[in-house]
Amino acid sequence: MMLPLIAVLASLRGMKMDLNCLFRPSTMAVIGVSTTQDDHPANVIYSKNHLRYPVKTFPVNPRGGFIHRERLYESVEQIGEKIDMAVIAVRAEFVPKVVEECIQSGVGGAVIISGGFAESGNQEIQDRVTRIAGEAGFPFVGPNCLGVYSPDYVDTFFLPGERLIRPEKGNIGFISQSGGVLVDQMVKFAGQGIGISLAVSIGNKACIRENEMLQYLDQDLGTKVIAFYIEGFGRGEGREFVKMAEQCSKPVVVLKAGKSTRGMAAASSHTASLAGDYRVFSEIMKQHCVAEADNEYELTSFCESLSCYPKGISGRAGIITLSGGHGVVAADACELHGVDVPEIKEETKKIIREELSPEIQGIVSLDNPLDLTGSCRDRDILVAATHLSRDDSVDCIIALLLPYSPLISADIGAKLSQVARNEGKPLIAYVPNEDKYKIIIEGFELNNIPVASSVDGAVFMAKALKRCRRI
């Protein structure tokens, strides 16, 4: 007897799925490899993994034959080995039969990159695939997705390897409904020096959805921050998601699309999602300690900041700058983004002034922001950071460093990091992202101190810590 789809989905989500077959596979079959079209998505995926990744990869095409002197198997069953993951890249109408064959052959799970399902109005085919997989307890990602990029394991993105910018292996798990947003975000992560533990495009999310990924990444030892790009949820799923996020042992960051009427309509046509009432969802996220990023630049900054400081703060920043103008820009950005810039205690200002170099004692401004001027030395910055860290008026420090100041050394990043480690108060640095200043940036990064490439980015990092605070 065929179960109703809603019952199949409920039973599948209640089942504890082992997703390592999809994210840490040892063997993979790529189904749909062409003998005549080298740029077919299945061919790109097969070649990339066969040549560059440790996963043992087998090409499958019902016609059989050979591709680049490698045997083309007519079916998964014909391979004769236990297959962890199948990547399915055939026309939508053939997918249900392929999924059945994978289940019969004992495949662990699948990534269905094929399009032409609910997003194109073909809900019936998608439901059929979901029902077949659900009744067998067979997990899959997709359809209509790029799938999985797991550093050192597998890459199912059907993008040529030479065009894809891959971040270093790191501790950010990023889940996206949109493959394009995922790839673009990987570019931004790489540019900011942020590494990822896992990147998954879930597309129409007919089986594995945000909640399953949240549960998996919460248990993943290589992940410290879990980030999502979300277009919409099924009915009731949004509230369940934020409740799970609140119980999660790691910070959760969300970039929510579909905020406007036009955006909601676009989200619905893209991955057949229910965008829902954004304002309600946003308010619920705040209540449940989910750090909502307002845009992709905030998402990048939030991930870096929370990977260094997973505990939230109330958001009272002490700003140290070598330029009055930068201090003004930072103060404006703080007010705009809800980060407080409180008055510093008179006792703190008195101690700092007394310990500064005599040459600058009469020209500095020790109101918040603290302007040490372009004539300060390393020691002056360290003095200000040390005593500001001990002032309970602030709960984080933003240090705006201008490496072109003549008396600042290349060791300032490492030195200031040591102050932060000794004092235990979150420190966020701004350093222009130029190769010439790489040694300063590395001085922070090697000590797990977040570094922004813009003043706004530094403020976004403080904002992230405030947004994930548990009240």
The CATH fold assigned to 1-146 is Rossmann fold (3.40.50)
- Using CA atoms in the order 97, 101, 103, 105, what is the torsion angle rounded to 10 degrees? 180
pLDDT at 235: 83
Kind plus residue range of the DSSP H or E element containing 149:
strand 147-150
- CB burial class (10 A; 0-12, 13-18, 19+) of residue 94? middle
pLDDT at 265: 54
pLDDT at 260: 55
Partners of residue 229 on adjacent β-strands: 176, 255
pLDDT at 379: 97
pLDDT at 270: 46
pLDDT at 254: 96
Question: Does residue 262 surpass a pLDDT of 80?
Answer: no
Residues of the chain with CATH 3.40.50.261: 165-308, 312-467
- DSSP per-residue codes, 219-271: H-TT-SEEEEEE--BSTTHHHHHHHHHHH-SS-EEEEE---SHHHHHHHHHHH
pLDDT at 239: 87
Residue 52, CB-side half-sphere exposure with 13 Å CA sphere: 16
What pLDDT, in 10s, does the model give residues 384-438?
999 999 999 999 999 999 998 899 999 999 999 999 999 999 999 999 999 999 9
Question: Does residue 330 surpass a pLDDT of 90?
Answer: yes
Q: What is the pTM of this model?
A: 0.91
**């290349």: which residue's tokens?**
410
CATH class label, 165-308: alpha beta
pLDDT at 289: 85
pLDDT at 14: 52
**How is the beta sheet containing 252-256 ordered, strand by strand?**
154-155, 147-150, 196-201, 169-176, 225-230, 252-256, 291-293
pLDDT at 2: 47
Report how far apart the first and last C-alpha atoms of the chain are (Å, whole number): 49
Give the pLDDT mean for 106-113: 98
Q: Does domain 312-467 have CATH number 3.40.50.261?
A: yes
**Does the bond joining 143 to the residue before it have cis omega, within 30 degrees of 0?**
yes
What pLDDT, in 10s, does the model give residues 140-197?
999 999 999 999 999 999 998 788 899 999 999 999 999 999 999 999 999 999 999 9
Residues of the chain with CATH 3.40.50.720: 1-146
- Sequence-ordered strand ranges (E) for 395-466: 396-400, 427-430, 451-452
Give the pLDDT mean for 348-376: 97
pLDDT at 16: 63
Strands 427-430 and 396-400, sheet pairing: parallel
Mean pLDDT over the full length of the chain: 92
- Binned at pLDDT 50, 70 and 90, residue 69 comes out as confident
pLDDT at 6: 52
